[in-house]
Amino acid sequence: MSGVLSSSIGRKVAMAASAFFLMFFLLQHFAINLTSIFSADVFNELSHFMGTNPAVQFALQPILIFGVVFHFVMGFILEARNKAARSVKYVKNNGAANSTWVSRNMIYSGLAILAFIVLHFIDFWFPEINHKYIAMLPEDPNRYYGELVHKFHSPIRTGAYVAAFAFLALHLLHGFKSAFQSSGMSAKRAAKLETVSKIYAIGIPVGFIIIALFHHFNQH
């Protein structure tokens, strides 16, 4: 693993692999949360399964946490290594004119998303760990919907989620394209998937925003 990550190409491929993994998780997470708009019972049932299934809790969840940490650490490493070279290139070739604002500021949208992940952990993951493994409270399969809705009661917290998902859309718009290129996909094939990637990059964050606003305004 260290040998692969020692090269620039290896780091980019690893970054792309972690990006695709996190995008798949994000889609699955969105699909479950979307059910909360239509059926509290279905959302509770799916959340209860995810929250009590040993394979999810003790195998997939640690892999997910590792994937998140790896992706952001690798992103910071790549940014640090490319910063000096990129600044020189921009002076010589006016690189800013040939790249988008999003691509030049991935580190900032990434930091905004990282701040959101911390908030999300505070809101959901830490209380869940406390409920099951510290306080050892009895499991109530119908508690998940109420806990979700409660988090969107505050307009400040809801606004923070909306802003975070807007940054996520910006990050994904460039991230998808970058992941395709880093994975070695041909330009022709990547171009064919560009429409799909844009639908994902915009649709998933907008969907999360709709979920947050739906639960916020439905309790006022």
Confidence (pLDDT) at 5:
58
Q: Does residue 197 sit in helix, strand or coil?
A: helix
Confidence (pLDDT) at 189:
72
CB atoms closer than 10 angstroms to residue 204? 20
**In whole angstroms, how far apart are CA 117 and each of 46, 65, 101, 111, 161?**
21, 11, 23, 10, 10
* Domain 2-217, second-level architecture: Up-down Bundle (1.20)
Tens of pLDDT, residue by residue over 18-48, are: 888 888 999 999 999 999 999 999 999 999 9
pLDDT at 90 over 70: no
Report the distance separating Cα 200 and Cα 206, nearest Å.
Answer: 10
Report the distance separating Cα 142 and Cα 29, nearest Å.
Answer: 18
pLDDT at 190 over 70: no
pTM, rounded to two decimals: 0.84
Could you write out the DSSP letters of every residue in 125-141? Answer: IHHHHIIIIIS-PPP-T
